[in-house]
Each structure stands twice: as C-alpha cells, then as structure tokens.
Amino acid sequence: MNARVRTWLVALALPLRVYLGAVFLWAAVYKIADPHAFGLSIATYDILPLSLVNLLAICLPWVEAVVGLTLIAGLWTRASALAVTGMMIMFMAALGQALAKDLQLSCGCFASAEAGDEISAGTMLRDALWLLGALYVLAAGGGRLSLDGLLARGRRRVAPGLDAAGGAG
Amino acid sequence: MRRAVIVLLQSVLLSGGAAALGLAVNALRPGGLPLVAEEPYAIYKDCPLLTKEAQAVTPEALEADLGGLVVVDARPAKEAAAGRPVGALPVPFDLLDPVDPGVVAELRARGPGRVLVVGDTEIDSGRLLAGELAEAGLQGVRYLKGGFPAWRQAGRPVEGAPQPGPDKEVVP
C-alpha cells in the first residue's frame, strides 16, 4: 500500500480509538458504581444461568474500563481492540437474542433503567458501528501517537531492528 | 502469524487481569456482590393482559331483585370493610395475583349470568375483575358501572358501615 495512504489510515484510528475507549470507560463507570443494577440487567436478558450472572456483573465492567483506558492511551492497542471486538460480538448476540424473543428491556449498556434506553434495532445498529470501529483499530494498530508507538521507538533506539509485535504496527 | 498470536495473548492477559482486578475490588468493597447470586433477580415481567371484556350494567338497568345473583366485591379489603353490598363475596382485584381457582369454580357452579361484580371507580377494579372472571371461563359475568359509589347512590343495601375509631370519640 502507498505509504502515505497507510499513514493516513493509521492516523484515522487515533480519534476512533479514543472515542471507543471513552464509550467503554463511560459504560463501565456506572456498572462499577452499581454492580447490583448491572447484575439485574444481565439477569433480565435471561441467557446466563443464575450462577454466572454475578461473576459477569463483577468482572465485565472492569474489562470494559481497563480496555477503555488502554485504547485511549494506545497501549497494546490491537489487543485492546480485539477485546472490544469480542465484547461487541457478545453484546450483539445477547441483544439479538433479546430482540428475537421480543423482551421489553433496558439494554443495560449505560445508566440502566433510564427512559428511552429500551433495546431496539437502533441499539443493534449502534453496536454494529462500534464493532466496525473496533475492527478498524484492530487492523490499523496504535500509530505514532500512542504508547505503543512511543515504546516501539524507544526499543528501536536501544536495539535497532528489533520491533516487537505489540509495536506501532 | 507470530504477531497475531501475541496480540491474542495480550488480549487474554488484558481481559483476565481486568477481571481479576474486578474480583479483587468486589471482595474488598463494602456491598460487593456475592460471587454466586443467592436468590434470583427480580426481573421485570409483562403484566398479564386482560383480553376479555365483561358486560357493563348501569345502576338504572340493574334489576331490582338481585335474588339468585352473587355480588362480588372487587375492592381492596380495607375499602370493603368500610361498607360493602349486603352479602357481597370479597374478591379483591389484583392485576398480578390471579383469582383463586377455588373461587372461580364456586362462582361457575352458580350457573351462567349469576355474577355481578362491584368495584371501585379509581382503577375500575369491577370491570377488570369481571374481565378476568370471564377470561377464566365464567359465562355472562356483568359489572356495575360506577362501582360501589353507584351501588350506594342507587340506594342498594349496604352493610359494614364505618365504625368510629377510638381516637374519634369525643370525651366530654
């Protein structure tokens, strides 16, 4: 690929990953603040057995928060984007299943039980767009303006020619 | 290829580490969730829909002689205690609590067209309970339009007039 085009495509990943990171961080904050409400949201989807609901309610928000932070910072960018991709696929599967069953529920994505937060085809479309964004970042990597890029440059200075996989990409 | 594996490993490490962090925080924070829910979550369920409508009857159209009819009082027990149609059978209406099948069977045994439901005007419990009874298979259920206030206004017999409470007694 033309080096210039490539540079531009990678540069475009920066605002995208900051946005996605902020979305995930924002989504995680309320879930961490009120794990019981999030547990209730998960239970309402009626997919997981009761024994797993709390475990997911405890762990998932922290995965969202950590991955949100690493995406914004551009640390392990591709790995973070991969985690986001996995989560988006998971969320969309849960949503699709709930929509198919015609469950009337708040999506539990952000501050739960807020009016107008009911799941719909629109929620699905929004998630699909975020999934595309995550895939883009996964493909593009961190670029120069990221901790990954910074670390890679540092490594190159120390040992030229040894660019680790987690690097700028 | 090696790169893809490393990215995958990093991703697993990132998620696993974050999950472990979540578990640690949950264990330390007050009000943390138990790892396994002790009781089911009270998840939202749709209200049962009443699809059947019973027949309404106005106080004027109601026959003068109600002999042979069962008058069913759909109002809450507290309201019924302060006055109810004479001989009324108390069946307080509750949207989320279906009528006891025993009561339905008892009413059905009276034959078709023998049930008159008297409710209140606020939530229209008479219409709702009559609909529920019709749904449960009762034939010719009717409800009084205007509920108990209409019953009283039409001069129909009432029992259980309110007793003055002790705090209302005037001590000379």
**Prediction ipTM score:** 0.84
For residue B37, the enclosing domain spans: 1-43
Domain presence at residue B165: no
Record: contact B26-A36, CB cut-off 8 A: no
**Considering only residues 79 to 98 of chain A, which have any Cβ-Cβ distance to chain B shorter than 8 Å?**
79-80, 82-83, 86
Asked whether residue B101 falls in the same domain as residue B146, the answer is yes
Phi then psi for residue B73, to 5 deg, are -95, 115
Domain presence at residue B127: yes
Tell me, yes or no, if A146 comes closer than 8 A to chain B by beta carbon: no
More confident call, A79 vs A156: A79
Domain presence at residue B6: yes
Domain presence at residue B169: no
Instruction: Judge contact between A77 and A148, C-beta under 8 A.
Output: yes
Asked whether residue B102 falls in the same domain as residue B137, the answer is yes
Asked whether residue B26 falls in the same domain as residue B109, the answer is no
Residue of B nearest to A138 (CA): B7
Q: What's A8-43 look like in SS3?
A: HHHHHHHHHHHHHHHHHHHHHHHHHHCHHHHHHHHH
Residue A109 tokens read as 């994505």
Record: contact B37-A39, CB cut-off 8 A: yes
Tell me the mean pLDDT per 10 residues along chain B, length 172: 92 97 95 89 68 86 86 92 92 86 90 91 88 88 93 91 50 48
Q: Mean pLDDT lowest for which of A49-53, A60-64, A101-105?
A: A101-105
Instruction: Give residue-wise pLDDT tens across range A134-159.
Output: 999 999 988 888 999 899 888 888 87
Phi then psi for residue A26, to 5 deg, are -60, -40
Residue of A nearest to B36 (CA): A51
Domain presence at residue B69: yes
Residue A56 tokens read as 């997911």
Asked whether residue B97 falls in the same domain as residue B147, the answer is yes
pLDDT band at residue A109, thresholds of 50, 70 and 90?
confident
Q: Give the whole-angstrom CA distance, residue B80 versus residue B78.
A: 5
Record: contact B18-A35, CB cut-off 8 A: no
Asked whether residue B131 falls in the same domain as residue B71, the answer is yes
Asked whether residue B140 falls in the same domain as residue B65, the answer is yes
Asked whether residue B137 falls in the same domain as residue B62, the answer is yes
Domain ranges for chain A, please list them: 9-153
Domain presence at residue B60: yes
CATH number of the domain where residue B137 is located: 3.40.250.10
Domain presence at residue B170: no
Three-state DSSP at B21 gives helix
Residue of A111, A104, A96, A95 whose CA lies nearest to A32: A111
SS3 content of chain A, % helix, strand, coil (to 5): 70, 0, 25
Q: What is the mean pLDDT of residues A47-75?
A: 95
Min Cα distance A168 → chain B (Å) is 12
Asked whether residue B36 falls in the same domain as residue B107, the answer is no
pLDDT at B73: 95
Q: Which of B13, B33, B35 sits opposite A36 (nearest CB)?
A: B33
The count of domains in chain B is 2
Asked whether residue B5 falls in the same domain as residue B72, the answer is no
Tell me, yes or no, if A76 comes closer than 8 A to chain B by beta carbon: yes
Min Cα distance A62 → chain B (Å) is 5
Three-state DSSP at B42 gives coil
Tell me, yes or no, if A62 comes closer than 8 A to chain B by beta carbon: yes
List chain A residues with CB under 8 Å of B37: 39, 43, 50-51, 53-54
Asked whether residue B31 falls in the same domain as residue B72, the answer is no
Asked whether residue B35 falls in the same domain as residue B77, the answer is no
Domain presence at residue B49: no
List chain B residues with CB under 8 Å of A44: 41, 43-44
Asked whether residue B21 falls in the same domain as residue B63, the answer is no
List chain A residues with CB under 8 Å of B19: 59-60, 62-63
